[in-house]
Amino acid sequence: MASSLTGQVAIVTGGARGIGREIALVLARDGVDVALFDVNPQQLEQTVAELRAMGRRAEGLTVDVTDGKQVDEGMAKVLDKLGRIDILINNAGITKDGLLVRMDDAQWDRVLTVNLTGTFLCTRAAAKHMLKQRRGRIVSIASIVGIIGNPGQANYAASKAGIIGLTKAVAKELASRGITCNAVAPGFIKTEMTEALPEPAKQRLMEAIPMGTLGEPSDVAQAVRFLVSDAARYVTGHVLVVDGGLAM
Ligand code: NDP
């Protein structure tokens, strides 16, 4: 049976690897054509090849989400090559951790610029097209750190809390035009980032997570899949926490 998503076009930022790649693959399995915006050309090529091998139309665009001109040009290329923009997934994100008193201005600025300004620039550009279509789905990847905080991550926590505020403002602004805007807030997910944690830190983390295990990228991707599907047509301004119970 064809999914309600078949034939739609999605943009996934930071989609070349990690959670973004998994989101792209899950959407493609549902018949979605996908454009990836990323700064990692080798990884982009690889993920685009995987998407095409699934029979989907796919484009990998080298777009830095912090550059408004590149974002606007990227959106225009997606419209030219894939014809429409139905779904935007703001996933590109970075960390530059450090304790508050040792955090320098550059660490603060870079994380806020990639995570929050990047989300704003892509949301604004995609919304212009979605408003014309009177239909669209926007999902941004926040983090439970934006809800409960985390020592050593003042910049990251502020950027992710900012994404939650942005999501709610945009949801209210665009709701009457058939556009929903939601966020997914993952807890700790098995990626290269969490692989790098020392074993004792991992152990402490497992003990704090009620479900006793880290999440998989597919756990985040399935939450995104729900929020962009017709099943979530009446859900907007929501923050869907995917964390095994950690933030409770
Ligand atoms: P990864 O670092 O594995 O992947 C992020 C991708 O985004 C990379 O391909 C990266 O390129 C790309 N990217 C970085 N900066 C930019 C930019 N300026 N413009 C476009 N693309 C960019 O991250 P994860 O998959 O772990 O995380 C994805 C999202 O999920 C992030 O927003 C993160 O904050 C969030 N998250 C992750 C959690 C986790 O446990 N992993 C938990 C909670 C939230 P490059 O390879 O060159 O760096």
Structure tokens at 219: 């756990």
Question: Mind listing the pLDDT tens digit for each residue in 63-111?
Answer: 999 999 999 999 999 999 999 999 999 999 999 999 999 999 999 999 9
User: For residue 181, which amino acid is it?
Assistant: C
Question: Mind listing the pLDDT tens digit for each residue in 126-148?
Answer: 999 999 999 999 999 999 999 99
pTM of the predicted protein model: 0.98
Is residue 224 within 8 A of residue 89, CB to CB? The reply is yes
Distance 67 CA to ligand 1 centre (A): 16
Ligand 1 and 141: CB distance under 6 A: yes
- Looking from the CA of residue 142, the nearest atom of ligand 1 is 44
Ligand 1 and 37: CB distance under 6 A: yes
Ligand 1 and 120: CB distance under 6 A: no
Ligand 1 and 163: CB distance under 6 A: no
Question: Mind listing the pLDDT tens digit for each residue in 3-38?
Answer: 889 999 999 999 999 999 999 999 999 999 999 999
What distance in Å separates the CA atoms of residue 3 and residue 42, rounded to the nearest whole number?
31
What distance in Å separates the CA atoms of residue 238 and residue 169, rounded to the nearest whole number?
11
- Inter-axis angle of helices 68-82 and 118-133, nearest 10: 40
- Candidate list 37, 120, 156, 188, residue with the active-site label: 156
What distance in Å separates the CA atoms of residue 202 and residue 200, rounded to the nearest whole number?
5
Is residue 59 within 8 A of residue 84, CB to CB? The reply is no
pLDDT band at 154 (very low <50, low <70, confident <90, very high): very high
Please indicate whether residue 234 is annotated as part of the active site.
no
Distance 20 CA to ligand 1 centre (A): 7
pLDDT band at 1 (very low <50, low <70, confident <90, very high): low
Between the CA of residue 95 and those of 3, 26, 85, 149, what are the distances in Å?
35, 25, 28, 14
pLDDT at res. 2: 66
Q: What is the third-level CATH fold of 9-240?
A: Rossmann fold (3.40.50)
Ligand 1 and 244: CB distance under 6 A: no
Distance 1 CA to ligand 1 centre (A): 33
Distance 119 CA to ligand 1 centre (A): 12
pLDDT at res. 181: 99
